[in-house]
Amino acid sequence: MTTIQAQGLTLSYGQKPIFSNLDVVVPPGKITVFIGSNGCGKSTLLRSLARLLKPQEGSILLDGSDIAKLSSKEVARRLAILPQGPAAPEGLTVHQLVKQGRYPYQSWLQQWSREDELLVKKALELTHMNELAGRSVDSLSGGQRQRAWIAMTLAQNTRTILLDEPTTYLDMTHQIEILDLLFELNEQEQRTIVMVLHDINLACRYAHHIVAVKDGQIYAQGKPETVMNEQLIRDVFDMECQMSTDPLFGTPLCIPYGKGRKLELAAAATASSAR
């Protein structure tokens, strides 16, 4: 089982420090979700884990070895990263895109093998992109496009997949579609999934392990049902809320306070029981 962890991570953008001496362990075979307010460093943390950013100090360990000392292709065979809002060049087909996922397995001598072909086919099947394989990526809807990119990372055939805000800019239908797909990949293939999500309630529903990041520190981590509470939301998101339970899934549900139309609660209860 592939494990990934950060040890004593220190990273800054120019003068501005993002993390200092941060430790994180990602549980293998599980879905881990990073949450936190904008600019808290959750994306930076994910990008560091994927070696897209070089830490000033500390290291990322992949199966116990320092990621900086492994060859980049070796890392790419064990860990895939889908950055936020990737852009495919105009005219690139889904099939062409997914084939690029085999890049870390190719060399001057080994250009395209039968295994490459099979894994591309499997990635298209798992993401239900078979029928769209010939379409150009830029002609697809947001959800389909994200599925195409996920298919590319699947073709990489890694035990671990990192995704930076895979549901941002998608409507709710497509958010669920993408998260269901990732959930299935985790259930059926035991892939380790690590992602950044903005929606706290969906994070609680899909994550086995949640990491709440605040000002470059890990505020809390663990199972959503044990770590999520009103105090955490107040401290991490600077927001007042009431914690409840998702009536469909039994997972924590955060209901924010704020302004808005307020119906008489008795009337609302009647209205809902009448349905």
Cα distance between residue 50 and residue 32, in whole Å? 14
Residue 73 or 234 having the CB closest to other proteins? 73
For other proteins, give the closer residue by CB, 8 or 91.
91
Cα 214–chain centre separation: 18
Contact map string, positions 101 to 130, toward other proteins, x by CB under 8 A: x-xx-x-x--x-------------------
DSSP secondary structure code for residue 93 in this structure: B
Binding mask 155-194 for other proteins (x = CB under 8 A): -x--------------------------------------
Q: 70: closest CA among 42, 104, 41? A: 104
- Of the candidate residues 25, 61, 92, 218, the single one contacting other proteins (CB under 8 A): 92
d(CA 65, CA 242): 43
Stretch that binds other proteins, among 20-28, 77-85, 196-204, 245-253 (CB under 8 A): 77-85
Question: Which of 136, 217, 221, 229 lies at the binding interface for other proteins (CB under 8 A)?
Answer: 136
The correct pick among 75, 203, 213, 233 for binding other proteins (CB under 8 A) is: 75
Answer for the pair 216, 18: CB distance below 8 angstroms, yes or no: yes
Residue 208: DSSP 8-state = S
Q: Does 74 bind other proteins (CB under 8 A)?
A: yes
Contact 207, 33 (CB under 8 A): yes
Instruction: Tell whether residue 133 is a contact of other proteins (CB under 8 A).
Output: no
What is the token pair recorded at 189? 């293939």
Residue 17 φ/ψ, nearest 5 degrees: -75, 135
| Residues 32-71 within binding reach of other proteins (CB under 8 A) | 47, 50-52, 71
In angstroms, the CA 191 to CA 201 distance is 22
**Beta carbon nearer to other proteins, 164 or 251:** 164
- Residue 182 vs residues 102, 191, 241, 264: alpha-carbon distances, Å: 20, 9, 28, 40
Nearest distance, CB of residue 1 and other proteins, angstroms:
21
Binding site for other proteins (CB under 8 A): 47, 50-52, 71-77, 80-83, 86-93, 96-97, 100-101, 103-104, 106, 108, 111, 136, 153, 156
